[in-house]
């Protein structure tokens, strides 16, 4: 009986300890990066984007990453971005469920296919991924569009909240692991 209880505690410990490590970093376009000629809808299709994951955009100085509304994504309009990134290496944490939209702001690039929409699930269920997608953006050189300072502040606080939640899961996993280990030893 004691062996069964110890085995069960060990199994629970392994499951709980694995939860914080489940976040994924997706490099947009894989080895191709963020550039014309890549089918980003096909790239995103079937990927299970979840809260806690990140998108990494790698691109050269001729490009940018703009987070835009669904309407601006569809129209390839770079005139009213929610956020603008030009640092050539942009990491965007996916901090909440929903769809996020990205385009390249260089003239003609979005129309040539440099656009991405990502649907982010809540993290516990399988997400529905579509050709449109969108995670929360963060970059060291993020420039909020005029009138969107509140959106930038919300994104920053969302990123902080996601980091705190991840840290809380890790702490809980470690605490439960210590309790389980103590129970097995005693």
CB atoms within 10 A of CB 168: 11
- Domain hosting 78: range is 22-120
Alpha carbon 157 to chain centroid, angstroms: 15
- 46 lies in a domain? yes
pLDDT of the residue at 21: 52
pLDDT of the residue at 122: 87
- 162 lies in a domain? no
- 87 lies in a domain? yes
DSSP letters for 56-111: EEE--TT--EEEE-HHHHHHT--SS-SEEE-SSEEEEE--SSEEEEEE--STTTTT
Quote the number of domains for the chain.
1
Question: Residue 52 sits in a domain of what CATH number?
Answer: 2.60.40.420
Task: Supply the pTM of this predicted model.
Answer: 0.61
pLDDT of the residue at 186: 65
| Residue spans of the chain under pLDDT 70 | 1-21, 123-186
- 159 lies in a domain? no
pLDDT of the residue at 70: 97
């Amino acid at each position: 009986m004691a062996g069964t209880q110890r085995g069960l505690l060990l199994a629970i410990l392994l499951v709980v300890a694995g939860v914080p490590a489940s976040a994924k970093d997706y490099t947009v376009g894989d080895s191709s990066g963020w550039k014309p000629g890549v089918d980003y809808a096909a790239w995103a299709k079937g990927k299970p984007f979840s809260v806690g994951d990140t998108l990494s955009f790698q691109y050269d100085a001729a490009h940018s990453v703009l987070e835009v509304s669904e309407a601006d994504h569809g129209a390839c309009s770079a005139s009213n971005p929610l956020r603008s990134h030009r640092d050539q290496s942009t990491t965007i944490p996916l901090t909440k469920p929903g769809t996020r939209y990205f385009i390249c702001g260089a003239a003609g690039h979005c129309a040539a296919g440099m656009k991405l929409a990502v649907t982010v699930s809540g993290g516990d269920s399988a997400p529905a991924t579509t050709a449109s997608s969108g995670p929360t953006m963060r970059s060291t050189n993020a420039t909020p569009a005029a009138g969107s300072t509140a959106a930038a502040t919300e994104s920053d606080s969302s990123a902080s909240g996601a980091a705190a939640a991840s840290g809380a899961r890790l702490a809980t996993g470690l605490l439960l692991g210590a309790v389980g280990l103590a129970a097995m030893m005693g």
